[in-house]
Structure 1
């Protein structure tokens, strides 16, 4: 019989994952898809739909499992902005929203850009709430009494009756001072935003009683504790670290990111790694890419056969030699974040000849995407091995190719995910470090890839 179970809610940009964990064991899991609306550069979700989705997900948990839940916490995607006017929330602008691209490109040229980055650890890019609020302010899109909330605030208001945001998600806004752990007054003043327009800040493990109405509606016990939680990126890194002992991790989903768990902040004013708070002892530094699994999704439509693309991918990769007969692919289909931080980067094939086939192009696409991730690994300083997570690594051939191309062992475990990251952060169970399934680089293949990497992105 279950008792003192933990309920984790992981809100990503494509789905909400809900899991119940008891004594290190996942006893129930479900997911609910989310709709992202795209109108040119505008990319958003509807707050009412997101709320309905997590309510649906929780209510779908069998009642006997819900009755055993003693605490609940949240992992949420970073960089969301949900303007709230007179208590009414509507659109949630997500990280990939590009409305602020031109405004932030101009801001990047100023001395304030590096100054603000070094106060917050958030790179200067259109993804950040700083950029979005700057753009909305210039456009006068919202009245002066607007509240600038996001996904975490929406969840906390529903579950506790008050909008709150944790230090981890806040440290990805570009508005939060990493040294003082407060909203940065200089940055708020620049944006003409008052502190009261932002939510209350809490630590990632801060606990609150559940709102009685939420408990009744969701079928949860009235004494359930609600814990603020952290961001999905930080929690993925922490889960990987807790499970495998590796401080470095790589996630490839739709986008991609390389991360390191550290005990000190670290900033690079030129390349602008991110540096986000996790808890009082840990920060997560890293580098994100816009171009992860979405590059393969594009290739499946543009140069492959969508119905069988992923099924045939291992054989197709094996049918073309390392280096794809000299073909090069620059994978910047969606602009790029680290280390360029520019929406203007473009994708292209290089050195295409009559000898190249679709199979060579498919291999070139995967190689180009991984060569780009290799740059991020070097930027972050990943050296000894990587804990890997994300849909990309469901295909073993891709995991082995990643290990060979990066020259690093890749350790896959099902627990390398945000839901376990929240659980480990809050409950701190006894650590049982297991590497999971490890893909070791083939020495000869890695040597060829190392030579290929030296001039891969030469113009």
Structure 2
């Protein structure tokens, strides 16, 4: 039998999934690691934790291979926007600075205040935001000068994994397009971005196609993973684009909506497209598939906050969902803006803060629960409106991520978007997308459309038309509030930073 392993380098866990070549899942393994938030705005991880998770999860799925089985390749999906600085001897100077780190907010605001930021966005497709390595580098340059002055190399997370395994200094096209430093039209490092950050091309890795293959890791690592040392490792792509591929949302107008820890809505185009209002991103899946969309910080993490802080961690998510079911659509006029950690699309405002709006004596914790679910979806709907302006109408919606286990949450999505929602039987969409890319790299399939023959059938949720007038009335209020509170967001976040006891 022939098999492939897909690995997903996530924000809070690394996952490995063993597949047959037809996409059937044989085994899966996941290993968590901490996200360090020691200081205000910090969101870092230890590279050693993630690398150990890669070795461990691959080993736990590879034990399902028999002696005569053939492991064709291991292929990777990765969280985007991470940054690690190294000195000239390749000793790490930083931990993994993740997309969730917002310490670069002041430099992001300065860049957005002038025209330079918008000009760079139009060339790179990455919105100006603290998540991007572009902004992180400005922060290092100004606030961690000793690191900035010593750094000879910069890598993102997957590049760091491959450097550890194979000694290479590379970055795949998909990850490169999420740095804010890479020209998505010329497919090379953008000079204006390098000039702004003070970097030279020598400090950045060589860009390679997602189909690039590495071989020849050390005997030590092969033993720890339980696989042959000559096993082919395919670079793969970033997690957002691969999620689209994994749920077969690569045709024109087919949107993928994902809610896990965070969330996103994305469509695929045949060429890069930027937004005249700088609300959407453009990242590569490969040279002929470009993913346009918007990511949100506000997903499962917000629901977890509700459980832990409002309900004191004493209720399960299923219990919260049952509670929310007792409340009418629209939560009787209670709106929730889910910006607990700032927001990416469509606001691109790290200062944004969460709030309940419309509270009255009638509202209970049950209302707050349903309002939280609705607020996360209304925020994604606001992103969708921007996306439609850039790429055209959405013809179909595929949903994936942990939120699909909640029928209520999917129904809210269908009602707010006024569209049927298909939930493919592809619980490991990113890993599946990675092994489809591996099959193309190995010449087993001709193109990425082969994914349509993999995985099970989808279940579809139909929208409830009775709820359309409710959400049509509430969504403009939701949108106006989020856009009109920009000054107040900045003022309250300044206050929080000024009087933060942990700074």
Q: TM-score range by the shorter chain?
A: over 0.9
TM-score (norm 2): 0.86
Task: Give distance in 2, aligned partners of 1:260 and 1:66.
Answer: 39
Task: Give distance in 1, aligned partners of 2:185 and 2:243.
Answer: 23
Tell whether the 8 Å contact from 1:164 to 1:202 is kept in structure 2 after alignment. yes
Kindly state the Cα deviation for residue 189 of structure 1 after the two structures are TM-superposed.
Answer: 2.3
Is residue 2:169 matched to residue 1:163? yes
Kindly state the Cα deviation for residue 144 of structure 1 after the two structures are TM-superposed.
Answer: 4.1
Task: Give distance in 2, aligned partners of 1:435 and 1:249.
Answer: 16
Counterpart pick for 2:407 among 376, 384, 396: 396
Is residue 2:421 matched to residue 1:418? no
Counterpart residue number, 1:22: 20
TM-score (norm 1): 0.94
Counterpart residue number, 2:91: 88
Is residue 2:377 matched to residue 1:370? yes
Most deviating of 209-218 and 152-161: 209-218
Task: Give distance in 2, aligned partners of 1:133 and 1:411.
Answer: 40
* Matched residue count: 457
Counterpart residue number, 1:194: 200
Provide structure 1 residue ranges, at least 5 long, that are not aligned to the other structure: none
Is residue 2:96 matched to residue 1:97? no
Counterpart residue number, 1:446: 468
Per-residue CA distance 1:344-391 (angstroms, 9 max, x = gap): 112112221112222122222222221111111111126222111111
Paired residue secondary structure (1:65): coil
Task: Give distance in 2, aligned partners of 1:184 and 1:228.
Answer: 22
Provide structure 2 residue ranges, at least 5 long, that are not aligned to the other structure: 482-503
Tell whether the 8 Å contact from 1:260 to 1:286 is kept in structure 2 after alignment. yes
Counterpart pick for 2:126 among 122, 125, 144: 122
Kindly state the Cα deviation for residue 269 of structure 1 after the two structures are TM-superposed.
Answer: 3.4
Per-residue CA distance 1:88-128 (angstroms, 9 max, x = gap): 12411000111111111111112110110011100100000
Counterpart residue number, 1:7: 5
Counterpart residue number, 1:34: 33
Per-residue CA distance 1:242-297 (angstroms, 9 max, x = gap): 69997211011111111011112111132430000111210000011111112211
Counterpart residue number, 2:140: 136
Most deviating of 355-364 and 377-386: 377-386
Per-residue CA distance 1:391-444 (angstroms, 9 max, x = gap): 111112211221112212211123261001112223255432875111111122
Is residue 2:453 matched to residue 1:432? yes
Counterpart residue number, 2:395: 384
Task: Give distance in 2, aligned partners of 1:265 and 1:293.
Answer: 29
Paired residue secondary structure (2:363): coil
Counterpart residue number, 1:208: 214
Task: Give distance in 2, aligned partners of 1:357 and 1:216.
Answer: 56
Task: Give distance in 1, aligned partners of 2:321 and 2:138.
Answer: 45
CA RMSD of aligned residues (A): 2.1
Per-residue CA distance 1:25-71 (angstroms, 9 max, x = gap): 11111011121111222211111221112112222234452863121
Structure 1 residues 304 and 145: CA distance shift in structure 2, 3 A: closer
Paired residue secondary structure (1:386): strand
Most deviating of 150-159 and 301-310: 301-310
Is residue 2:296 matched to residue 1:285? no
Counterpart residue number, 1:237: 244
Structure 1 residues 298 and 345: CA distance shift in structure 2, 3 A: same
Counterpart residue number, 1:59: 59
Kindly state the Cα deviation for residue 177 of structure 1 after the two structures are TM-superposed.
Answer: 0.9
Structure 1 residues 367 and 218: CA distance shift in structure 2, 3 A: closer
Paired residue secondary structure (1:332): coil
Is residue 2:127 matched to residue 1:106? no
Structure 1 residues 66 and 41: CA distance shift in structure 2, 3 A: farther
Kindly state the Cα deviation for residue 303 of structure 1 after the two structures are TM-superposed.
Answer: 2.7
